[in-house]
Structure 1
Amino acid sequence: MPTDDEVVETASTAAEDVVFSRYDVGTVEDLDVTVTFEDGVLDVDVYVNAPDSRQDEAQVADDAALAARAAVDDLFEE
């Protein structure tokens, strides 16, 4: 059983990986990944500000949050 810290770290890393797979680091002006895991409930919020990119920031943020949840699901299946 993973610890709460492992869950948060896994989710955060997965979300950041998605964002930086879509954007160059210099393109991202602001990135905020907030992950909480309390009483078995995972909450992931991702905000991306990359105004000079052609990518839809909201879609990338949603994809990053989904990837974070999937990574945590995988962690619990190990």
Structure 2
Amino acid sequence: MSDDGVTGDAPDDETVVQTAADAAEDVIFSRYDRSAVSDLDITVTFEDEMLEVDIYLDAEEGRTDAEQVTEDAALAARSAVDDLLL
């Protein structure tokens, strides 16, 4: 196995999970300053080729809709994994 978590052509589950979590976090912190986020929990599971992304975000109210941001972050996570697996 190489250092990047890829064995042969398919990435391992840990790489898939980390890719999804990183993508979700990138979206959230592109919309909120870190100081505006009181609590963030990104839970990603990848079992039997099924990806599940759950995001809890507690952030200051303002111009940005937290629910929309979490939906966008989950979509970005899925898209990043799609790109990784294709």
Q: TM-score range by the shorter chain?
A: over 0.9
TM-score, structure 1 as length reference: 0.95
Identity of aligned residues (%): 61
Give the gaps of 5 or more residues in structure 2. 1-9
Regions of 4+ moved over 6 Å: none
Q: 1:32 aligns with which of 41, 44, 58?
A: 41
RMSD of aligned residue pairs (Cα, Å): 0.8
TM-score, structure 2 as length reference: 0.86
Equivalenced residues, count: 77
The Cα of 1:44 is off from its aligned counterpart by 0.3
Between structure 1 and structure 2, the one with the greater Rg is: 2
Give the gaps of 5 or more residues in structure 1. none
Using CA pairs below 8 Å that are at least 6 residues apart, which structure has the higher relative contact order? Answer: 1
Give, as a single letter, the amino acid of the residue that structure 1 aligns with 2:37.
V
Whether contact under 8 Å (1:47, 1:61) holds in the other structure is: yes
Q: 2:75 aligns with which of 59, 62, 66?
A: 66
